[in-house]
Amino acid sequence: MKDPITTPPAKADATVSSQAPSSQSASSSITLQDIAAHAKVSRSTVSLVLRESPLVAKRTREKVQDSIKTLGYVYNRGAAAMRGSRTATLGVVVYDIANPFFGSMVAGIDAALHQEGYVSFLANSEDSPKRQQRFIERMREHRVDGLLLCPAEHTDPNLIHQLTDWGMPCIQVMRYLDAPPFDYAGTDFRRVAEMAVNHLVSLGHQRIAFIGGADHSVSHDRWLGYQAALDRHGLAYRRLVRGNGVTRRVGHELIKTLMQESPRPTAVVCHNDLVAFGAMLGLRQMGLEPGRDCAVIGTDDVEEAELGDPPLTSIATHPYAIGEQAARLALRRIANPGGERESVIMPPELKIRRSCGSPDDAIVETPRPD
């Protein structure tokens, strides 16, 4: 990739207006004290007005609010946090913000926090426990009121206990470390995988494979769900190819290995929609038609699923809602740190589209292209 182009000097005329302005409204050094003087009341009264206390008389409140407007006062939350107990900030750690799933989740978090006057620090751990650790330390230094954590792979499970020892409320999201009780928001990934298998079985499939996953709770749960569902239906065939990661590329590779085996699966459950897209592409490249020659089902129900070719049947996991719920749970925990730990589980939802074809289609063996 080429270097960026930078435009430093511009033309001489522009330079003047390109200097920082020296307007008299200089970066606000106007304080409570100034407002108090202007409104002829005490600092304390102004403080009460700012916090919308019912104690202060209407006339006084209005007078103070006038002064605030006139002088262009900006509340200093840092100073307030120093004396008071809360900062109205939260730390949020995800491991891959470029993944639209987490994008939606963060959008949900943001919406819920915004309503309550909170703002959030965001960090992208890139699945590195070291980066995650550094960020958490910074969050402590900034005295955030709580933490929303999607733990990085291979995080020391002791981390949550450490956090609670430090008195830092922490909600785990999607993934979790160690065992309950803890605060958690996510979906039931065992159930997700079970629903996928159930749907395929209901379409008549007997040889159902599972592809994709990584070494973390969300994958383990899916694998467990896959196997439990097969057990329940008394199906002997099972083929669990974990691969390395949850990307299109992984799906693309794994499906090819899988379809060269004999007997072939007639259906495949994918760790998520990205893996499923990769798998569908792989099938096409082998001359097989997804939905007819092999049923494909994804999980997450990302936006692309609906407009895929064929449209992908998927188990929706509602990341936006999970984000909202996680944020709300965090606020509850902050308000009541000693309270009972909670888990908020969003129920998954089956979205039937065309990538699993019809029962008749799916059972028929297609001769190999070679």
Report 30-89 residues binding DNA (CB under 7 A): 31-33, 40-45, 47-48, 50-51, 55-57, 59-60, 75-76, 79-80, 82-85
| Contacts of a copy of itself in 125-164 (CB under 8 A) | 126, 131, 134-135, 138-143, 164
Per partner kind, with CB cut-offs from 5 to 8 A, the member of a copy of itself, DNA, none near residue 257 is: none
* Binding to a copy of itself in span 8-27, by CB under 8 A: 8-10, 14-15, 17-21, 23, 25-27
Does the bond joining 290 to the residue before it have cis omega, within 30 degrees of 0? no
Q: Which span (35-43, 74-82, 199-207, 234-242) binds a copy of itself, by CB under 8 A?
A: 74-82
Strand 349-351 and strand 208-211: the pairing is: unpaired
Amino acid, res. 45? T
Count of residues of this chain found to bind DNA when the rule CB under 7 A is applied: 27
| 261-279: b (≥16 Cβ within 10 Å) or e | eeebbbbbbbbbbbbbbbb
What binding mask, one character per residue, do residues 81-110 give for a copy of itself by CB under 8 A, x or -? xx----x-x--x---xxxxx-xxx-xx--x
CB 302 within 8 A of CB 285: no
3-class secondary-structure state, position 331: helix
Closest to a copy of itself by CB, 92 or 208: 92
Stretch 275-314: interaction string toward a copy of itself, x if CB under 8 A: --xx--x--xxxx---------------xx--x-x-----
Binding residue for a copy of itself (CB under 8 A) from 210, 318, 331, 356?
Answer: 318
- Site track 237-276 with DNA (rule: CB under 7 A), x = hit: ----------------------------------------
Q: What does the alpha-carbon distance between residue 256 and residue 281 come to, in Å, rounded to a whole number?
A: 10
341 alpha-carbon distance from chain centroid = 20
Q: Which is nearer to a copy of itself, 19 or 262 (CB)?
A: 19
**Dihedral in degrees, nearest 10, Cα atoms 163, 101, 317, 235:** -100
Least Å from the CB of residue 33 to DNA: 6
Q: How far is the CB of 38 from DNA (least distance, A)?
A: 12
- Evaluate whether 323 touches 112 at the Cβ level (below 8 Å): yes
User: Given the complex with DNA, which of 64 and 203 has the nearer CB atom?
Assistant: 64
Q: Residue 129, SS3?
A: helix
Cβ–Cβ < 8 Å for 135, 91: yes
- CA–chain centroid gap for 132, Å, is 15
Does residue 217 interact with DNA by CB under 7 A? no
Looking at beta carbons only, is 104 or 313 nearer to a copy of itself? Answer: 104
Distance CA 218, CA 366 (A): 34
Token pair of 332 as six digits: 């509850």
